[in-house]
Amino acid sequence: MQDRFTAATQEVLAYLHEQENKDLLRFITCGSVDDGKSTLIGRLLYDSKQIFEDQLAALDKDSARWGTTGGAIDLALLTDGLQAEREQGITIDVAYRFFATDRRKFIVADTPGHEQYTRNMATGASTADLAVLLVDARKGVLTQTRRHSYIVSLLGIRHVVVAVNKMDLVGYDRSVFERIVAEYRAFADRLDIPHVTCIPLSALAGENVTTPGTAMPWWEGPALLPFLETVEVAAARTQAPLRFPVQWVNRPNQDFRGFSGTIVAGRVRPGDAVAVLPSARTSTVARIVTMDGDLEEAVAGQAVTLTLTDEIDVSRGDVIAAAGARPEVADQFAAHVVWMNDHAMMPGRGYLLQFGTHLVGGQITEIKHKVNVNTLEHTAGKRLELNEVGFCNLALDHPVPFDAYAECRETGSFILIDRVTNATLGCGTITFALRRAQNIHWQPMTVDKAARAAAKGQKPCILWFTGLSGAGKSTVANLVEKKLHAGGYHTYTLDGDNVRHGLNKDLGFTEEDRVENIRRVAETARLFVDAGLIVLVSFISPFREERRMARSLVGADEFLEVWVDAPLEVCEQRDPKGLYAKARKGTIANFTGISSPYEPPENAELVLAAGEHDPETLADQVVAALKARGIA
């Protein structure tokens, strides 16, 4: 027993030692539908003996039921794990698979080929070191081949293997392979992918996958797996300046205050001078704390807890960085954005942006251009639809530390989140900061809002009237203003129709123009509040998100949302401007309530039952509400 134990121990120790010297390659397989991605992974797993007997038995059964190979083992079914995928014979979401050879460990993300699931392809690609791009030898380079190549280059993957698959179906013809290679290279030369390798193979026949085949004696390059085992991909960025985004403040007791996080670039030692961004306070690293004891040094990729020699304010979202090579801090920058949601991205609409461990509100201020993934041409656009890519300017509610994505993935990337549904809407890679963020500082005025308000003897605020066309917003606002004016208050009314004659006369009624319409009005209202006025805004403003944006511009007690709530039938019956009749006939597009939605307020300060009471009564209700708040 003792001998057997010792033998096993020796053997396992030797094995573990060998494992420790293995590194890890994370790669994706991508390409168009039916190019054979899942079959290729199945082949890699099968040939590297990663499939267990019971899984093989289940596969046999599944092949008979779902398979597309006429009863023979369908290797694609190994990775298509969802019922819907097996039924439809397509890949919907990324599947992660694991295998190892004597030289390396591999994590493979099998990504979907259908255009509608591009976001899932991007999910897989964002953590990969290399991409295996499959091309069907019979079809050559397709739209999806180009789309995936573009996304791969956008996400900074520097190694692409073009696997020209199904060579068996073209008689292993060298000229077919060479034609595809030439076509692909002509496209890829315009992308930022430094290393492109092309390999002809047949996943189904196992030709040139794990071992060189016999069917293509003309091929002198490596088979796929030997190539994957030996390709050198960049190691973790341990030579770059330190970047340590703080995830969690570690405070077990009064005597210990550490900052937990993962080093995403560089290395750190006790005694190193560091800066904490965005505050730019500086300190020195005291300890690198782990459960296994303090470390002398930690490098990119390690999750540790740092303590500093000074009691400075550090919280989640801050970046601890090398004092001599800091990230940029800005609230405006340019980035490529990949949109992943059915609801199009609108410039001016507010989103949440997650940067590393930092969550901040912001918006896309401008789409500089969209990228046609087929031709790589730049096109103009006012919105980004699902799966579109745009080069955009963004503005945040406050400055954040970041690097260009090309410099550091972790501090140069972000995701966009919907404020209402919490869905992940898209992702972005930062190109550069926009200089004006640093150079145009807010001009502090000696005479400020409080001084101007005091001179007028009033509390400035925005009264935001929202509701359907014909609900009576302008009528009520007009009466309220009359009453306030009579009481000696300084007021101004911004009316939807009137503003469209001047400031906003360049805007139409598409969703993106409506967003911009509201943004300009909200900014104008803010300036008037700053001037000390009580501002009455009378706008349909159908989207919650834009009203929320307007609210966010001023103080919490300076914004009153007044919902002039009249039923659609009542408004349509009144139809003071004849607009409903035209909308019903279809001569006005995007008309709120008819062909464009109205999103009712959820937390309006005041709801006016505009179908039941006359405007005079409603105006009195508004004035009473202002009195209750000490405004009137």
Partner 1 sequence: MSDPVRLTHLQRLEAESIHIMREVAAQFRNPVMLYSIGKDSAVMLHLAMKAFHPSKPPFPLLHVDTTWKFREMIAFRDARARDLGVDLLVHINEEGVAQGIGPFTHGSAVHTDVMKTQALRQALDRYGFDAAFGGARRDEEKSRAKERIFSFRSASHRWDPKNQRPELWNLYNGRIHKGESIRVFPLSNWTEQDIWQYIYLENIPVVPLYFAKPRPVVERDGTLIMVDDERMPLRPGEEPEMRWVRFRTLGCYPLTGAVESTAASLPEIIREMLLSRTSERQGRVIDHDQSASMERKKQEGYF
* 77/223 with CB nearer partner 1: 77
* 19/595 with CB nearer partner 1: 19
* 56/624 with CB nearer partner 1: 56
Answer yes or no: 541 catalytic. yes
SS percent in the chain: helix, strand, coil, step 5: 30, 30, 40
- Least separation in angstroms between residue 573's CB and partner 1 is 37
- Least separation in angstroms between residue 168's CB and partner 1 is 27
Determine the 3-state secondary structure of 429 from DSSP: strand
* 295/437 with CB nearer partner 1: 295
* 292/311 with CB nearer partner 1: 292
> Look-up: residue for tokens 């899932």?
120
Triad 623, 624, 626: Cα angle to 5°:
65
- The residues near 132 (Cβ < 8 Å, ≥ 6 apart) are 27, 28, 29, 30, 40, 160, 161, 163, 224, 228
- Least separation in angstroms between residue 113's CB and partner 1 is 16
Query: Cα–Cα distance between 263 and 27 in angstroms, integer?
Result: 22
- Least separation in angstroms between residue 274's CB and partner 1 is 19
Query: Cα–Cα distance between 552 and 554 in angstroms, integer?
Result: 6
* 78/554 with CB nearer partner 1: 78
* 94/209 with CB nearer partner 1: 94
Query: Cα–Cα distance between 249 and 311 in angstroms, integer?
Result: 13
Record the tokens describing residue 439, joined without a space. Answer: 């150079």
- Least separation in angstroms between residue 143's CB and partner 1 is 21
- Least separation in angstroms between residue 299's CB and partner 1 is 5
Helix (H) or strand (E) run with residue 160 in it: strand 159-165
Query: Cα–Cα distance between 301 and 266 in angstroms, integer?
Result: 9
Record the tokens describing residue 483, joined without a space. Answer: 């009453």
- Least separation in angstroms between residue 37's CB and partner 1 is 14
- Least separation in angstroms between residue 154's CB and partner 1 is 12
Burial annotation 129-157 (CB, 10 A radius, 16+ → b, else e): bbbbbbbbbeeebbebbbbbbbbbbbbbb
Determine the 3-state secondary structure of 491 from DSSP: strand
Q: Which long-range contacts (CB under 8 A, 24 or more apart) does 339-342 make?
A: 339/384, 339/385, 339/386, 339/387, 339/388, 339/389, 339/390, 339/425, 339/426, 340/118, 340/119, 340/122, 340/386, 340/387, 340/424, 340/425, 340/426, 340/427, 341/386, 341/418, 341/423, 341/425, 341/426, 342/386
DSSP letter string, 291-340: TT---S-EETT-EEEEEESS-----TT-EEEETTSPPEEEEEEEEEEEE-
Catalytic residue among 126, 538, 541, 596: 541
From the list 421, 449, 473, 443, the residue with the least C-alpha distance to 557 is: 449
Q: Which residues are identified as catalytic? A: 541
